Amino acid sequence: MGSYYGALLARAGHDVLLICRGAHLEAITSSGRLTIAESGGILWHQALTAAATPRAPAPDLALITTKSHDTLGAAAALAPVIDDHTIVLSLQNGVENVPRAESILGTGRVLAGQAFVGVWIEDPGVVVHGAEGRVSIGDPLGGLTERARRAHVLVAGGWDVSLAEDIIFDQWKKLLWNAGFNALCAITGCTAGEALAEPSGAATVRAAMHEVVSIAEHHGIFLSDEDVEEMAADNPQLRDYRPSTARDLDAGKVVESDALCGFLSREGTRLGVPTPVNDVLDALLSLRTTASSPR
């Protein structure tokens, strides 16, 4: 995701340093560019500079787009190179990443965002943009603050982005989709569309989402049945999409369960709120991950 949104900013004329690793870093460094494969077979190439770690000068905007379990590492890497002018934006799944990053960068230093997008690395140096792409960003303190407006101005020329007065609500609403599809598709191997096509699958999707509603209410976030139905509706762009958890499982990567079904199961236990569907999804995903690990 960082590669895709970084490429969009570079295409809009910004000077972008992409932080990545492994074969993806080597491919971009050797070619000096990133290839984006859009749905429909359209390819475009963007000249980009990539590195393994952030470096001076201090950027106007620093994006954290890692998986949630890498948030602390990303924040620690950013800390020596940002200054008081730098806006830090967390564009990640889950609802715990801002306070996690701020535990290193300082309270009030990190804006929140959510990206509703289907994107993945197909090959080193090649990112597939398969679906959607819209972003909302805002200040977790609420309202249209000056730093949120500055961030919006920086990215608006390259992204399909809106400025949210209540970005925390947006993040919880995105969690509805992730809770409904990520673990279920990873465990079963189905696409989002296939999960909805089977009545029992569609019922499981909605049941997992309704548990998000119950947990969110205890955090002062009031999601509605209409929000659930919107996130559970058949989306032609996502019908053939396998969510990121499934792709990470296929690639042998650490899956982001602790920020999604694991978070909901953990919060349910802490708050005394029943979350039987997410409890089972989290347990099955853990078993699936263990079974897929090299022995």
Q: Looking at the structure, tell me whether residues 159 and 256 fall in a common domain.
A: no
CA-wise closest residue to 159 among 29, 14, 39: 14
How much is the pLDDT for 295?
A: 44
The kind and range of the H/E element at 204 are: helix 199-218
- Name every residue whose Cβ is closer than 8 Å to that of residue 34 and which is 6 or more positions away in sequence: 3, 6, 7, 18, 28, 45, 46, 48, 125, 126, 127
- Point out the domain boundary residue: 164, 198, 213: 164
- Point out the domain boundary residue: 164, 180, 205: 164
Whether the Cβ atoms of residue 166 and residue 15 lie closer than 8 Å to each other: no
Q: Looking at the structure, tell me whether residues 62 and 93 fall in a common domain.
A: yes
Q: Going by DSSP bridges, is the β-strand pair 17-19/161-163 parallel, antiparallel, or unpaired?
A: unpaired
- What's 237's domain CATH number? 1.10.1040.10
How much is the pLDDT for 293?
A: 58
- Phi, psi at residue 119, to the nearest 5°? -150, 145
Q: Looking at the structure, tell me whether residues 94 and 138 fall in a common domain.
A: yes
Give me the domain span that covers residue 200: 169-292
Give the Cα separation of 36 and 11 in Å (integer): 11
- Point out the domain boundary residue: 148, 164, 180: 164
How much is the pLDDT for 138?
A: 97
How much is the pLDDT for 17?
A: 97
Whether the Cβ atoms of residue 82 and residue 59 lie closer than 8 Å to each other: yes
Which token pair is 207? 């049941």
Whether the Cβ atoms of residue 183 and residue 268 lie closer than 8 Å to each other: no
Give the Cα separation of 63 and 74 in Å (integer): 10
pTM: 0.93
Q: Looking at the structure, tell me whether residues 132 and 217 fall in a common domain.
A: no
- Look up residue 33 and give its amino acid: R
Number of domains in the chain: 2
Q: Looking at the structure, tell me whether residues 206 and 236 fall in a common domain.
A: yes
Q: Looking at the structure, tell me whether residues 6 and 148 fall in a common domain.
A: yes
Q: Looking at the structure, tell me whether residues 12 and 141 fall in a common domain.
A: yes
Give the Cα separation of 285 and 258 in Å (integer): 11
Q: Looking at the structure, tell me whether residues 48 and 158 fall in a common domain.
A: yes
- What's 91's domain CATH number? 3.40.50.720
How much is the pLDDT for 292?
A: 63
How much is the pLDDT for 107?
A: 94
Give the Cα separation of 119 and 1 in Å (integer): 6
Give the Cα separation of 234 and 84 in Å (integer): 44
The one-digit pLDDT tens for each residue of the chain (295 residues) are 999 999 999 999 999 999 999 999 999 999 999 999 998 889 999 999 999 999 999 999 999 999 999 999 999 999 999 999 999 999 999 999 999 999 999 999 999 999 999 999 999 999 999 889 999 999 999 999 999 999 999 999 999 999 999 999 999 999 999 999 999 999 999 999 999 999 999 999 999 999 999 999 999 999 999 999 999 999 888 889 899 999 999 888 899 889 999 999 999 999 999 999 999 999 999 998 887 655 4
Q: Looking at the structure, tell me whether residues 173 and 160 fall in a common domain.
A: no
- Look up residue 108 and give its amino acid: G
Q: Looking at the structure, tell me whether residues 110 and 153 fall in a common domain.
A: yes
Q: Looking at the structure, tell me whether residues 274 and 179 fall in a common domain.
A: yes
Residue 212, phi-psi category: left (phi > 0), alpha (psi -120 to 50), beta (remainder): alpha
Q: Looking at the structure, tell me whether residues 221 and 272 fall in a common domain.
A: yes
Whether the Cβ atoms of residue 136 and residue 161 lie closer than 8 Å to each other: yes
